[in-house]
């Protein structure tokens, strides 16, 4: 990089609470270190279309507490093509951007990895996704907020479910991963969690109902990860009512509520630390790595590893949901 390098920053894929805190940290740490910052709007689509604006410190004032992303996000099919990436590179050249910081999840990093293989541009990834499904980091920006939002919803559903002696099936996001579902089930004291990492055999559902309706319990809450079971929470409810017409079920699909809201303190701190670390990584000459956090230490993980390795569900978490609901 030259003496006054210019950093481009973008958010891509599903937005996550805390992305703004990350943009703020990247911008301010870069400016403090004598760099220029250019915000790229609408993720990779904006990079292709040249939607770029130089940011000053004040452009990121008053945003640490805001959900979503002030520089917008998008899922961009064009960037998956070599032609799209060529246009994106032309924008980088035109805007004299020397390095990129991309905030997003698996799809964002796959795009970044492909881009970095074709063009000589250092890229640092910040894990921003509610799904927490990236290998190499204990937590992703947005996960804690989403987990708290889901837990809050479960608490509310518990009130009405218990009043009417009902079984609630609650559908939770997570793409291919069950972290949100399993940990929200533990935090919400749910009777069961149906996650993609564990095949949801009908006996498992049956066992969950038995556990829920046993003893003094007349109601239960079962969380269903959005892609764990074909037909989702609605299908699970149907199956339960077929086998047990005596039970009354209700389904709640939490949907995009899970992505919104003001980030928790934990997400704001994580995003701020990671944003600072991203700039420091560039100053240290790092490229094509994701900033992670492991045992409260900031780490750098090759982008390739972050997307290729599978992050495991902890066995003790599974045990917790299996036994604590008895």
Nearer to ligand F6P, 98 or 226 (CB): 226
Task: Compute the radius of gyration of the chain from its Cα atoms.
Answer: 22
- Residue linked to tokens 């600072």: 276
Nearer to ligand F6P, 140 or 249 (CB): 140
Find the shortest distance in angstroms from Cβ 313 to ligand F6P: 16
What is the three-class DSSP state of 62? coil
- Which residues of the chain form contacts with ligand F6P (CB under 6 A)? 14, 75, 105, 129-131, 173-175, 226, 259
Residue pair 17/146 in contact (Cβ under 8 Å)? The answer is: yes
Find the shortest distance in angstroms from Cβ 226 to ligand F6P: 6
Find the shortest distance in angstroms from Cβ 100 to ligand F6P: 20
Nearer to ligand F6P, 29 or 133 (CB): 133
Nearer to ligand F6P, 42 or 166 (CB): 42
The burial class, CB within 10 Å (0-12 / 13-18 / 19+), for 296 is exposed
3-state per-residue secondary structure call for 259-303: HCCCCCHHHHHHHHHHHHHHHHHHHCCCCCEEEEEECCEEEEEEH
Given the residues 131, 133, 144, 267, the one annotated as active site: 131
Is 120 among the catalytic positions? no
Find the shortest distance in angstroms from Cβ 86 to ligand F6P: 25
CA distance 117 to 316: 39
Find the shortest distance in angstroms from Cβ 268 to ligand F6P: 19
Of 209, 210, 214, 213, the C-alpha closest to 224 is: 209
Output DSSP code: residue 100: E
Nearer to ligand F6P, 97 or 274 (CB): 274
What is the three-class DSSP state of 83? helix
Beta bridge partners of 172: 225
Active-site annotation, residues? 131
């Amino acid at each position: 990089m030259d003496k006054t390098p210019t950093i481009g920053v973008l958010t891509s894929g599903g937005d996550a609470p805390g992305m703004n805190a990350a943009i703020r940290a990247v911008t301010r740490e870069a400016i403090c270190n004598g760099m220029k910052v250019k915000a790229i709007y609408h993720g990779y689509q904006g990079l292709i279309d040249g939607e770029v604006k130089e940011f000053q410190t004040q452009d990121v004032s008053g945003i640490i507490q805001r959900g979503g992303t002030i520089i917008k996000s998008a899922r961009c099919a064009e960037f998956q093509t070599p032609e799209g990436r060529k246009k994106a590179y032309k924008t980088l050249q035109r805007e004299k951007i020397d390095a990129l910081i991309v905030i997003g999840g698996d799809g964002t990093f796959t795009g970044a990895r492909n881009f970095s293989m074709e063009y000589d541009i250092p890229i640092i990834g910040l894990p921003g996704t509610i799904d927490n499904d990236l290998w190499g980091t204990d937590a992703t920006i947005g996960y804690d907020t989403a987990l708290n939002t889901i837990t809050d919803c479960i608490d509310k559903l518990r009130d009405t479910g218990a009043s009417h002696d009902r079984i609630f099936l609650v559908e939770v996001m997570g793409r291919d991963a069950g972290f949100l579902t399993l940990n929200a089930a533990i935090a919400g004291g749910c009777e069961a969690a149906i996650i993609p990492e564990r095949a949801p055999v009908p006996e498992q559902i049956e066992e969950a109902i038995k556990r829920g309706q046993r003893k003094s319990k007349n109601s239960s809450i079962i969380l269903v990860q959005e892609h764990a079971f074909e037909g989702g929470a609605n299908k699970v409810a149907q199956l339960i009512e077929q086998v047990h017409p005596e039970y009354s079920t209700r389904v709640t699909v939490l949907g995009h509520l899970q992505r919104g809201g003001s980030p928790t303190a934990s997400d704001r701190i994580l995003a701020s630390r990671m944003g600072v670390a991203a700039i420091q990584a560039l100053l240290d000459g790092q490229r094509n790595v994701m900033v992670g956090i492991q045992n409260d230490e900031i780490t750098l993980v090759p982008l390739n590893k972050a997307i290729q390795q599978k992050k495991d569900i902890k066995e003790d978490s599974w045990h917790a949901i299996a036994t604590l609901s008895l």
